A = this chain, B = another copy of it.
Amino acid sequence: MPAEQKSITEECGIFGIWGHPKAAELTYYGLHAMQHRGQDGAGLVVNNGKRLLSHKGLGLVNDVFSFAEFSQLSGNVAIGHVRSATEGSQVYENVQPLLFQSQIQSMALANNGNLMNADRLQSELEHKGSILQTSSDTEVVAHLMKQRSMEVNETAIADALNQTSGAYGFLILTDDKLYAAVDPNGIRPLSIGRLGDAYVVASESCAFDQIGAVFERDVLPGELVTISDDGLQSSRFAMRGQRRMCAMEYVYLSRPDSDVNAVNVHASRKQMGKELASEAPAAADIVVGVPDSSISAAIGFAEESGLPYEMGIIKNRYVGRTFIQPSQELREQGVKMKLAPVRGMVEGKKVVMIDDSIVRGTTCKRIVQMLKHAGASEVHVRIASPTIQHPCFYGIDMSTYDELIAANYSLDQIRSMIGADSVSFLSVTGLEKSIIKDKTIHQGICAACMTGYYPVTTDSTNSGNTGSQVGLRGGSDHGKQI
């Protein structure tokens, strides 16, 4: 589980389907494909032709749906959500989709992202007498819509979203329509596919492959898509800014088989490995990747450098949530958790160890120790992404500033702290080259956590021109590179 290895957690994956008789079941499979985007809760809301029904719960998709009776969730339209909770928010009430039953018009909302001004908006709503039941940004948007209009429609949605600033992909289901929207800078991903005549919407294209659907296009920045029995209509709720997809989607978050903004994630990672090999070669015997997320980059590094790729670290496939953690005493004696070195491969070797990113450095340190303990004569750490030095306000839960090793220490200090013989990071330019293939698709990437250049700020009016504004910590050299 990514959450154990890194201190980065994606907060969500969303899925929607319109026009298939097995809508709820396909939503289940779609969510399952995006399980890596959130392991703390899952849910779906189906329109059974008469009303909206909800099935949700805490835990993994399989936990939540293992006793689901899909026969009781029949209907042609559904939306679903997988959720990664922050400490203290792991309660049932926060699991999405949020369903609001009403005598007038019921609706369900699911969101992947973060609204930076949610607290202020919530406060304003409560002073007007509204009652909010969750700590979810998503509920704020529901209230904003209802304040504007009895009926949820394009106008109400546009009005509500324009009061927010942040990064998001939204799905809104009413009795007769399914809406999908992406933030004006296109920071969070959302794609449209087809499954026969049915429409499918998902955070990642791997959900399409899982159910046999075919990718059609991405939802554009600032676009509001309306799907109904009349087909798909597109409108804009905001002027389109420069499209700046979150770089961490490529580096770590998305599944390697997904295409994000027309770029395959595995291919971009492999390219990051190649760029890294060019930028920071190492005199070593073998290349080893930290499973699973760094394998693509490691293969790329090996290919570019000409060094053999070896399986020097292995991941136990049976480590799940119920794994009994070894005590500190046993860990010090060498009892491993989920990663183990392959002694036969690394003993006596100079090893290039590829990892996708470093947040606090603690995991990296443990792996270096493990390799050395298994006999590696040298360990050269190569990180297939730039240093993470700034917090994310757009929905990725990383460590706080104080914990970010690259924000607080020099490269040489980091090398020393993790016990490596050398350490290098990919440059921001190298990262961009690995991701941006076509400037008509990507005007840039959001690498705010690496550069401190934030495409959206809380005082943003979300006019769509945010691309040109000064970031929170803007003006840095890194920022200019993007």
Q: Which of A1-36 contact B (CB under 8 A)?
A: 22, 25-26, 28-29, 32-33, 35-36
Residues of B within 8 A of A126 (CB): 102-104, 150
Residues of B within 8 A of A345 (CB): 257, 264, 266-267
A409 within 8 A of B: no
A376 within 8 A of B: no
The answer to whether B146 and A131 touch across the interface, beta carbons within 8 angstroms, is yes
Q: A334: which of B68, B212, B341 is its contact (CB, 8 Å)?
A: B212
Interface string of A37-80 (1 = CB under 8 A from B): 00000000000000000100000111101101000000000000
A421 within 8 A of B: no
Give the CA-CA distance A119 to B103 in the complex, in Å: 9
The answer to whether A131 and B127 touch across the interface, beta carbons within 8 angstroms, is no
A sample of 5 cross-chain residue pairs with beta-carbon separation below 8 angstroms, ordered by A number, consists of: A129-B150, A206-B314, A210-B336, A259-B343, A265-B344
Give the CA-CA distance A122 to B106 in the complex, in Å: 13
If A62-B323, A209-B340 are given as contacts, then 20 extra A-B residue pairs at C-beta distance below 8 Å, sorted by A number, are: A35-B316, A35-B317, A65-B324, A68-B324, A102-B126, A102-B132, A103-B126, A129-B130, A129-B146, A130-B131, A206-B314, A206-B340, A210-B335, A211-B335, A255-B314, A257-B314, A264-B344, A270-B310, A270-B311, A295-B311
Q: How many copies of the polypeptide does the oligomer hold?
A: 4
Q: Report the contact-size class of chain A (Cβ under 8 Å from the partner).
A: 35 or more
Residues of B within 8 A of A309 (CB): 299, 303, 309
Nearest CB in chain B to that of A95: its residue: B92
Q: A residues engaging B (CB < 8 A)?
A: 22, 25-26, 28-29, 32-33, 35-36, 54, 60-63, 65-66, 68, 91-92, 99-104, 119, 122-123, 126-127, 129-135, 142-143, 146-147, 150, 195-196, 206, 209-213, 215, 255-257, 259, 264-267, 270, 292, 295-296, 299, 303, 308-311, 314, 316-318, 320, 322-324, 326, 330, 333-336, 340-345, 374
